[in-house]
Copies of this chain bind each other. A is one copy, B any other.
Amino acid sequence: MKSHTEYLWFNTEKKLEFINITLELERALAKAQVKEGLALASAMHITAGVYINDAEDGLIADIEEWLERLAPFRADYRHHRTRETHGDAHLKNLLVGHQVLVPVTKGKLDLGPWQQVYYAEFDGARPKRVHQDHRRLGRSLTLFVRLLPRLAPQPVGTGGSPPLPPAADWRPHAIFPGPALSVDGVPAAA
């Protein structure tokens, strides 16, 4: 069995920042040379999140606004009696979650066609605490080599469901900075 762990550091310039880390997860996976397993991406901070969603700038702005609405900055959090000012960042962390597991199949991250992995910083760019700007993301890739023949994947529908449409039929997308993702192990057409 193989396991591979990497720690990432990020420099952030704004208080709220969303960083697409899908490509870095793929790089770590390539190093680990694992074919079947799980990749855990987990923030090591309590004022940051890790989530999977779309790489579309409008949506990211919507998410930012939504987080501010549900877990707003306020001066009067009790936590601020410790001289902190980021009570809202802790709540945003709880709302979005701080970790995701990505299945690894045939040596690839087994993501859906629009799934991208994001690191969300909720308390970045603190000029008075320069060192704390360098956020650490614990990306513990615990990846397992298959030792026994794997059972063939079998679709199990709730009725005679047709297969997924080919990738080309999916909606066009305004912004898609990440790498070409594969569907069912077949690389997406360029």
Contacts and interface: CB of A to CB of B under 8 A. Distances in A.
Interface residues on A, range: 35 or more
B46 A62 contact: no
Nearest to A184: B7
Interface string A121-147: 000000001011010101010101111
Quickly give the copy total for this chain. 3
A91 B66 contact: yes
A90 B62 contact: yes
B114 A45 contact: yes
Contacts of A163: 9, 134
B45 A132 contact: no
Interface of A: 1-11, 19, 24, 27-28, 31-32, 36-38, 40, 42-46, 51-54, 56-59, 61-63, 66, 70-71, 77-84, 87, 90-91, 93-101, 103, 105, 110-115, 129, 131-132, 134, 136, 138, 140, 142, 144-148, 150-151, 153-159, 161-165, 169-174, 184
| Shortest 7 CB-CB contacts between residues of A and residues of B | A44-B112, A103-B140, A58-B78, A9-B161, A131-B165, A59-B79, A58-B79
